[in-house]
Amino acid sequence: MKDTAISEANPTPYHAPSRSGLTLPTVGIDIGGTKINAAVVAPGEENLLSLINAPTPTDSVQFLNTLVDMVETLKQKHNAVAVGISTAGVVDSIHGRILGSTGNMPALKNLSNLRELLTERINLPVHMENDANAAAYGEWRSGAAKGAENMFAITLGTGVGMGIVFNGLMYRGSHFYAGEGGHIAISYHRERKCTCGRWDCWEAFASGTGLQKTAELTVEAAPETAQAEFLQKYCADGKVTTYAVIAAWKDNNHIGVQIMDDWHNHIAVGLGSLINVMDPDMIVVGGGLAQFVNFELLQERTRERSMSNNFQLVPATLGNHAGIVGAAYLAMETLK
């Protein structure tokens, strides 16, 4: 195990469909800000094989070593023939280069040519993909949107991610910037700054950060008694957090209900716009906050906003493993 701590988790039930006789075990790696997850996707199998993880190193050399170790471990165990990597940032998946911001991963700043470096060390073909793209592809290939002709997946977390599959192909746009759906504007009033520096992005309302901002503003504007009750009952240290809102909402507290109702509206406004542009047959909603979405309510609000009503809005089914699955399948498809 050399100098990196890799731990093995229980494999997740999951069915990897085999298509056109393709049965090549492939390593899928999902690089996150704190953890790197990896496993083998083998068409025909019911589960991800040998799910392992390691803390994400901040140093570039250590980072590369960790990836090499993880791949070697999985490669030996399952005869993997390729590697698919899902990572934050704008990724030129054709030339295997990381072009844009990689958020909270300092190690990647010096590794824009990660694919090249990794290929040299592990002697396997490597495909790299933006994480939101990989997650969408995973959900389309063997998750909630199996069989869709045109679909997109959004992930509601700290931000709002998006990936698009058109006519069964990953859609990346002309410069690998497609699917920045989190940054469509849902207001022209310049009322809320997004972390990207632009105004009124969907993400600034629909993400966890957005939900918290809406909560702060709503509590601030609430009548004195209701405000005091909310703060006292749900906000231990006086801070209005997303957890406080969720607790209040489950309690049927008036302020909590209003905030969550607004949040569903904010999500629906963006979804309606995306549907009107792309006319998909399926939309997958995943990410850490998806568990708090009332899908019935969201459907209803989204239908009010959309021209076509022939779409299915469904929760993601691959959870944290969508990136691993999607990246591995994209690597397999690219190899063909």
In the complex, which residues of this chain contact a second copy (CB under 8 A)? 148-150, 162, 164, 166, 171-181, 183-189, 196, 198-199, 205, 265-266, 269, 272-274, 276-281, 304-305, 307-308, 310-311
Shortest approach of a second copy to residue 292 CB, angstroms? 19
Q: Which of 249, 80, 275 is nearest to 164 (CA)?
A: 275
Residue whose CB is less far from a second copy, 128 or 164: 164
192 φ/ψ angles, rounded to the nearest 5 degrees: -140, 125
Tell me the closest approach of the beta carbon of residue 278 to a second copy, in angstroms.
Answer: 6
In the bound complex, what is the minimum distance in angstroms from residue 151's beta carbon to a second copy? 9
3-class secondary structure, 259: helix
Least Å distance, CB 55 to a second copy, is 30
| Nearer of residues 207 and 265 to a second copy, judged by Cβ | 265
- Cβ distance to a second copy smaller for residue 61 or 277: 277
Contacts of 128 (CB under 8 A, 6+ apart): 84, 85, 87, 91, 93, 96, 97, 98, 114, 115, 327
C-alpha to C-alpha distance for 211 and 122, rounded to whole angstroms = 43
User: Shortest gap between Cβ of 51 and a second copy (angstroms)?
Assistant: 33
Structure tokens belonging to residue 71: 């791949």
Across 14-31, b (16+ Cβ under 10 Å) vs e yields: bebeeeeeeebbbbbbbb
Spatial distance between the Cα atoms of 170 and 162, rounded to a whole number of angstroms: 12
Question: What sign does the CA torsion over 144, 146, 147, 151 have?
Answer: positive
Measured distance CA(184)–CA(205) in Å, rounded: 11
Query: CB of 82: closest distance to a second copy in angstroms?
Result: 24
The two three-digit tokens of residue 37, written as one number = 């997850």
- Closest distance of CB 240 from a second copy, Å: 21
DSSP state of 182: G
Residue 266: CB minimum distance to a second copy, A: 6
Helix (H) or strand (E) holding 111: none
Output 57 or 89, the one with its CB closest to a second copy: 89
What is the C-alpha separation between 200 and 186, in angstroms, rounded? 6
Query: Which of 120, 149 has the CB closer to a second copy?
Result: 149
Could you tell me the smallest distance in angstroms from the CB atom of residue 307 to a second copy? 5
Q: Which of residues 73 and 155 has its CB atom nearest to a second copy in the complex?
A: 155
Tokens 């690089």 found at: 31
Residue number, 14 or 311, with CB nearest to a second copy: 311
Nearest residue (CB) to a second copy, 142 versus 214: 214
The residue among 1 and 221 lying less far from a second copy, judged by its C-beta, is: 221
Report residue 62 as tokens: 């250590």
H helix runs in 17-130, sequence order: 60-78, 114-122
- Neighbouring-strand partners of residue 55: 35
